[in-house]
Structure 1
Amino acid sequence: MAISRILHMNSHHRSKGSHLQVAIDYILKDEKTMNGLLTGSVNCIKENAYECMKETKRLYGKMDKRQGYHLIISFEENECDGDIAMKVIEEFVHEYLESDYEVVYAVHTNTDHIHGHIIWNSVRFTDGYKYHYKKGDWEKDIQPRIDRICEKYNLSTLEKSIKKTDKKEWDVLKNGPFIWNEQIKQDIDACVLRASDYSMFLQMLEAEGYEIKQGKYLAVKPPGMERFRRTKTLGQGYGIDELKERIVKENLNTYRSNQVVRAPKIRMFKSKKVRKTRMTGLQRQYFREMYRLGKIRKQPYSQVWKYRKDVKKFQLLQKQYLFLAKYDVTDVEQISDVQKDLRKKVSVLLKAKKVIVNEMDKHLKVFQAVENIDKEKKATIFYKMGDDTFKESEQIVSEARATLKEEGLSFEEAKN
């Protein structure tokens, strides 16, 4: 049975896209997605998904207000594996979102309940219109689509499960941890990055519509949830003391680097190191799709060499796409204009570089003198103490100081 819940991410006056950025980085974590194997995207490159979505918003002048949508689909425990869950997620994405939106999706297998995440831009890249979620869309359109796809893969559906369960059990499902925990954690993470202290952090949560209870533990209740949830139950990093520590240490500038978590490596034996080329996420996705289509079969030896040309082609296409996105190129004629502008900029930079090099050549003797003094000045101390071993160092420093004197500079002036 796949239970889904749709969430939305709003902008904030201090950082308009922080919620969207945090959510994308979270769902793509390697340790949750079998080292990135169970991830994908449409109409964008997942490694640059946030930048692509932001660029679409900027292109249509819709940078503020709602930033994106996040659909969480939680599967019943032990009902399916990661591959089946990925097929369900991909089929829903291609059916519901592919034609108009930039989308990133992933399946998390690091918990007992396998669950999928789908994040899409609030602005359509095709015409600039915003996605409008209306009351009843989940019940009439989204969940029925998921149920239909689940039936295709012999998974139980929500409609059939509701008929078999009583109200108490349904309330447990509706308010279960795998439906709400992801939303709460992402909202907390986004507020932690922007808050300057714990008090401001709580105010930001309240501004997002959360109800808050404070005591020995912090408990929160997002809009639509029936019961409060203690933040410490969300996992490591969500207790009161841990949140206060994170508020001090974390910010948007350091967020991306802090999210890189390497899985522990277990070395079973030592062997001669073989250098391997690391593939990008796009390339990994390409080979996974080739395997599904039966183009790649398990062999006793690697068959990657057969697809080297395709890999190079993908790398070239990726560079070309990023170039077009960076310079807002929408048609062939614009490429020529962009090239002319870039050539002009290169010409200006080369002239500036030439001026700098000429100035450096003029003062090369000064630079060399400063370098010699820095290098030998400690050795001259021992020479002055009577050790002739360092006589040559004393001569070098004396000549360097004479050079600076000719230029009318002291060592301190030349160094600064």
Structure 2
Amino acid sequence: MATTRLMPLHTGKGRTVGTAIADILDYVKNPQKTDNGRLITGWQCDSRVADAEFLLSKRQYTALTGRTRGEDDVIAYHVRQSFVPGEITPEEANRIGVEFAKRFTKNNHAFIVCTHIDKAHIHNHIIWNSTALDCKRKFRNFWGSTRAVRRLSDTLCVENGFSIVENPKRHGKTYNKWLGDAAKPCQRELLRTAIDEALAKKPADFEALLKLLQEAGVEVSRRGKALRLKAPGWKNVARMDSLGDGYDEPELRAVLSGEKEHTPRKKAERPAPEPPCVNLLVDIQAKLKAGKGAGYERWARSFNLKQMAQTLNFLTEHGLLEYGKLKEKTAAATARYNELSGQIKTAEQRLAEITVLKTHIINYSKTREVYAAYRKAGYSKKFLAEHESEILLHKAAKKAFDDLGVKKLPTVRSLQTEYAALLSEKKAAYGEYRKARDEMKELLTVKANVDRLMGYEDQEKEQETKEKQEQSKGR
């Protein structure tokens, strides 16, 4: 499950805008936390000089609009997105963070996503520039933005098969207490039940129905034309016309006069539980050696029996009772998963290259005149101090072109067309990728259980040991 937090970033006392941006970006880009920078993704900016790019856009915003703000100005926004331990890989977390930032900013703001793996839980730090890409507008926080962040993050997790926090509460409450409160029927449900039971006694008219409700402990009162009810044990009243279809006064009078039939409201049915999945058998002997007691041993034996039954059911349903067929299908599922995974990684790599290249082309075009003036000024230190951010961006763009081996710059439009086509192919492949991943996991689990039950696991280990010994002798 993913949890989120949205934090506006201000300049603060004693800091310039450039220093404030550099401080937060230096923290989130920490190489020790991002696998030496491998888990850093920039969009519409180069992550290496993102602070300079953010600062340049703010100067352009001031020049274009004439608007200036003080220390209370929001220079960037920071979202922290955390995932449950063991459920997601760092690469998947980074990809979801990028998709989140694109959707939330509607592709109007440059951002950087850094995935940290230094904690037990993988988490993203997403920083986006408050100034829009056109340098004419700013992102303004809005009422309910925290809820919007959580909803979008939950949507992405559900789309990618990861768990979410169901019905989160703003104030702390234990899950058991929350579950107990959720299990209690609400007052309106109690009132509808009381009306159903009173109607079952065939009252002569509406006044007789109200009398039966009062005898059942329901307080009945009128306020103007509204009829108000209060169930036993409740402090607040509920209007009868708020109980839903079939329970307001005109409809109940029509039922009592024989003009229509009353249909009790059905309770919402809980979704049917998903069929149990096959889990790996527990190595009881290894757990006992590790210090587990007799109680754990009893639980593990019961658990293993259930998993063996589910494994047998799976093999029967899929016609895989022959070990050769199981092995063949498992190998095919693994190969298919690796193939799709390779396709998606190749597409993601090219998408990242296009994003970086497009950003550098735009920066190169914006700063070309400034750099030309810098050269005419004889690389003056004074000129450099006045236009440091523009010159840094220009140098970074030229270096990126050299690193990518680009001799002739493509047009931004051609890059956008290629990007859209790759993104469409990648999204189409993800549905099949998730199915292939789930199928592979289930088949590998079933095969591992069969190998353990039949002793094939030990045979494979012995074979591997013999091969290693033969190789060492051959050397």
Structure with larger Rg: 2
TM-score (norm 2): 0.38
TM-score (norm 1): 0.43
